[in-house]
Structure 1
Amino acid sequence: MIIESYFELILLMGGVLSFLLAMYLIFYPSNFYPNKILGALVFSWSVTVFVFILHTTDFYQRYVHLYAVLDVFTLMFFPLMFLYLRNYLYRDIKKPMRQLYHFIPAVLYLLVLTPFFAKSSDAKLEMLQNGFPVWYLIAQSVFNIVIIIQGIFYSIFCLRTIHRFQYFRKKHLSAFQLSTLVWLRLFVFINIILWTFGTTGAILELAGIKLFFNLFNVFYAGLTLFTIVLGIFTTMRPELFSESEDIKNLIRTSKNKPRSISDQNNEDFEVLSQYIEKEKPYLKTDLKMQDLVESTGITYKRISEVFNKNFNKSFYEVMNEYRLEEAKHLIAQGFHQHHTLNYLAEKAGFNSKTTFNRIFKKYTDQTPSDYIKNLDDSII
């Protein structure tokens, strides 16, 4: 294995620094879960940089069984970035194991290429020297497209998550917490810029177009530089990566005037009411309280307290009341004249016609059909 240029040497050194930073983030402080996710992301970056360098050497001629295996880490970039952001903002995410579905593309990559991985070293070496079969090339192209799609959707998800968190919690965030959101947004934007260089390079390569400079070199150099800056930033601003400064501590107690529980509930009630009125989450038929936790940044316990103390009703009672009003609104617009009542119930957010009929009867003393009939008769 021969490093052929100073550029590759610099990338290699950057990859080593990335690995060290990843170990730091994963193992210290050990009780801060978002750091472990960020560490996994940085580790993926370091592996990808190593793979880029190794492709220009005779490394795979000697260790042919490693060929293509490490490429799976590229499929983990954006899922890990999104999960880092989500877990940083929303520390009380319930059922964290559900987050594993973000890694389905990476698992599929390994499964689809299993026939290649299972081949003998001689067979793989022959492919490296004489060309890969068509099915392998197609599989790699498909996963390259998946990586491009991941970049688009996860970038949107990340920016939308930050925006919604700040929008609904801005009045309750300290200066430190607002600066943290600036860091998170910058973190996402830098990843998007790097992804743009890498994706453009991949598209040009597929199209057989060559530029006067290599976009992949820009991508990996940028990734290495970003990792080094991240390491320096971690050293200079350790509070952004420690449990002691928790962005979820949204309601801070004043030294001179402690905040009462009822004041806190009223502020949470205001945020929740605004969110429900503006976003209409009740139109989602399988809505759960955890969805409100993830959208507003208010903890599960506090949301439960708001519904019990401020609304004086349960979560499902409030949501069904909003759904009922939505159903009445649709009926007033004549929606029932062109669609079935089942579809109307679904559009209003009810998960079944039985629930729709029960809620309608409970609050209006009429079935939906009777309500519509009486409404039509009153118009006549």
Structure 2
Amino acid sequence: MFLAFPEFGKYSTPLLFLSLQGLIFAFLLLRKYIQQKNISDLFLFAILIFACYGQTCYTVGFMGWYDTYRNTKINYALFSVGIVIAPLIYLYIKSITTSEFKLKSRDFFHFLPFVLFALYRISIYTLDFIQPGFHDVQNGMLKLSLDEPYVQPLMTVFGFAQMLLYLAFTLQLFYNYRRKINAFFSNTYKLELNWIRNFLFVYTFLFLYDVVETVVSAYFVELGYTQQWWLVFFSGIAITYVGIKGYFTDTTKLKKLNFSFSPNKISVPELQNIRKREVSKEAIEQIKTLMDTEKPYLDPELNLIDLAKRANMSRSQLSETINLGFNKNFNDFVNMYRIEAFKKMIAAEKHEQLSLLGIAFECGFNSKATFNRVFKKLTQRSPSEFLKAAI
């Protein structure tokens, strides 16, 4: 009996490897949290722990646990981990995109469904435990007559609805945050924002795959244990990716961004009315003079607040002048000057002493990816294509 478990086969071995990788990085994130007290690391640790828990339950199944131990009670501990991962995803992104984020007592209400479900499972286990013959079977009376036919299907539907809701809120939070960065900052923190985007894409993909698999199995063709293996395998890859990338990506700089001022959002009719009165020509000339003489765009950390102080304007006045007077958002406005500075340095043959990336850094860009993207957006050519045409 004891030789049948564990069975290292083509289904169990990859899952075991991926689960172990996830656990390693989960505890590395926990250590990082203890050292740096960054609460987003704690949320990511919790996401990985619960994801690895669900992964491990499937892994031991493929390793032969259920066949070897026919009276195991592990089914009482199985549940869709999405009911706890969904709010953790939301809180993780919120903790990254909110300055001075602090966990409040009301945030714990996000986990109320999980707590209630855990209490329910403990209750039916306790009631089944006192029934005669329970130790000889895998599932007791309440597990078979109540939980599996009624509660589990209900929790599946609830879990999908909850995950859909939290993913929608989190995606909205992320895209609003990214728009605010364009309005406030001259560099867009592409590396960190790409990590958030990829993180949300991974869990959106897993959610959609799970929904499709469940619908197919319920209404078309019942999928067997091995056919459901692919979802578990993809989940394992996701755990490993999230663990590695989340551990090595520094998101603390996003938490330090100051959004104490929000530029007014202007609808089309309002925009037309404002254009009729136009922004002050003096304000436009003031900004042009400042950008040409003091060259604040050379500072890669330049933001709306700093430029407003230099221009002796309110942040609202500066934002409106840039949006309406130059027909650009703050990010594009500043990068336009950086691109022009880059072109002037090429014309001055600075590329003979510096690489293109070196020149870009001299002009205020802070990463190769941002420079290439902005240059292509504003000139419709890549930097290398521009250089060839200029030579």
> Which of the five TM-score ranges fits, normalised by the shorter chain?
0.5 to 0.7
Q: Note the C-alpha offset of 1:73.
A: 3.2
CA RMSD of aligned residues (A): 3.6
1:69 corresponds in structure 2 to 77
Q: Note the C-alpha offset of 1:176.
A: 5.8
1:169-184 correspondence to structure 2 within 5 Å:
169-173=181-185, 175=187, 177-184=189-196
Aligned to 1:158, which of 170, 177, 190? 170
Q: Are the aligned partners of 2:99 and 2:256 in contact in 1 as well (CA < 8 Å)?
A: yes
Q: Note the C-alpha offset of 1:173.
A: 3.5
Q: Distance in 2 between matches of 1:193 and 1:173?
A: 31
Percent sequence identity over matched residues?
Answer: 13
Aligned to 1:14, which of 1, 18, 28? 18
Extract unaligned runs of 5+ from structure 2: 260-295, 321-391
Q: Are the aligned partners of 2:308 and 2:318 in contact in 1 as well (CA < 8 Å)?
A: no
Aligned to 1:207, which of 209, 219, 223? 219
Aligned to 2:240, which of 217, 220, 228? 228
Aligned to 1:116, which of 117, 124, 138? 124
Tell me the secondary structure at the aligned position of residue 259 of structure 1.
Answer: helix
- In structure 2, relative to structure 1, the CA distance for the partners of 1:105 and 1:255 (3 Å cut) is closer
- In structure 2, relative to structure 1, the CA distance for the partners of 1:106 and 1:130 (3 Å cut) is closer
Tell me the secondary structure at the aligned position of residue 133 of structure 1.
Answer: helix
| Greater RCO (CA < 8 Å, at least 6 residues apart) | 2
Aligned to 1:197, which of 209, 218, 223? 209
Q: Are the aligned partners of 1:34 and 1:84 in contact in 2 as well (CA < 8 Å)?
A: yes
Tell me the secondary structure at the aligned position of residue 42 of structure 2.
Answer: helix
- In structure 2, relative to structure 1, the CA distance for the partners of 1:261 and 1:175 (3 Å cut) is closer
Tell me the secondary structure at the aligned position of residue 113 of structure 1.
Answer: helix
Q: Are the aligned partners of 1:195 and 1:219 in contact in 2 as well (CA < 8 Å)?
A: no
Q: Distance in 1 between matches of 2:116 and 2:301?
A: 57
Q: Are the aligned partners of 1:72 and 1:110 in contact in 2 as well (CA < 8 Å)?
A: no
Q: Distance in 2 between matches of 1:65 and 1:271?
A: 62
1:25 corresponds in structure 2 to 29
Q: Distance in 1 between matches of 2:317 and 2:12?
A: 56
Tell me the secondary structure at the aligned position of residue 189 of structure 2.
Answer: helix
Report the residue type matching 1:267 in the other structure: R
Q: Are the aligned partners of 1:27 and 1:36 in contact in 2 as well (CA < 8 Å)?
A: no
Kindly provide the CA deviation profile for residues 79-114 of structure 1, in whole angstroms up to 9, marking residues without a partner as x.
Answer: 111110011111424562211111111112112223
Number of paired residues? 268
Tell me the secondary structure at the aligned position of residue 6 of structure 1.
Answer: coil
Q: Distance in 1 between matches of 2:301 and 2:87?
A: 43
Q: Are the aligned partners of 2:82 and 2:159 in contact in 1 as well (CA < 8 Å)?
A: yes
Q: Distance in 1 between matches of 2:244 and 2:301?
A: 37
2:369 corresponds in structure 1 to none
Report the residue type matching 1:241 in the other structure: D
Q: Distance in 2 between matches of 1:142 and 1:98?
A: 26
Q: Distance in 1 between matches of 2:52 and 2:301?
A: 48
Q: Are the aligned partners of 1:197 and 1:218 in contact in 2 as well (CA < 8 Å)?
A: no
- In structure 2, relative to structure 1, the CA distance for the partners of 1:123 and 1:109 (3 Å cut) is same
Q: Note the C-alpha offset of 1:241.
A: 3.2
Q: Distance in 2 between matches of 1:174 and 1:81?
A: 28
Structure 2 residue 137 is the aligned partner of structure 1 residue 133: no
Kindly provide the CA deviation profile for residues 335-366 of structure 1, in whole angstroms up to 9, marking residues without a partner as x.
Answer: xxxxxxxxxxxxxxxxxxxxxxxxxxxxxxxx
Q: Are the aligned partners of 1:89 and 1:248 in contact in 2 as well (CA < 8 Å)?
A: no
Q: Note the C-alpha offset of 1:63.
A: 7.7
Report the residue type matching 1:25 in the other structure: L
1:36 corresponds in structure 2 to 42
Report the residue type matching 2:315 in the other structure: E
Q: Distance in 1 between matches of 2:208 and 2:86?
A: 13
Q: Are the aligned partners of 1:168 and 1:271 in contact in 2 as well (CA < 8 Å)?
A: no
Q: Are the aligned partners of 2:75 and 2:139 in contact in 1 as well (CA < 8 Å)?
A: no
1:313 corresponds in structure 2 to none
Q: Note the C-alpha offset of 1:160.
A: 0.4
2:111 corresponds in structure 1 to 103
Q: Are the aligned partners of 1:42 and 1:227 in contact in 2 as well (CA < 8 Å)?
A: yes
2:284 corresponds in structure 1 to none
Extract unaligned runs of 5+ from structure 1: 273-380
Q: Distance in 1 between matches of 2:165 and 2:301?
A: 46
Q: Distance in 2 between matches of 1:19 and 1:135?
A: 33
Q: 68-77 or 83-92: which moved more?
A: 68-77
- In structure 2, relative to structure 1, the CA distance for the partners of 1:20 and 1:61 (3 Å cut) is same
1:264-303 correspondence to structure 2 within 5 Å:
266-267=314-315
Q: Distance in 1 between matches of 2:77 and 2:85?
A: 15
Q: Distance in 2 between matches of 1:98 and 1:140?
A: 28
- In structure 2, relative to structure 1, the CA distance for the partners of 1:49 and 1:256 (3 Å cut) is closer
Q: Distance in 2 between matches of 1:13 and 1:132?
A: 31
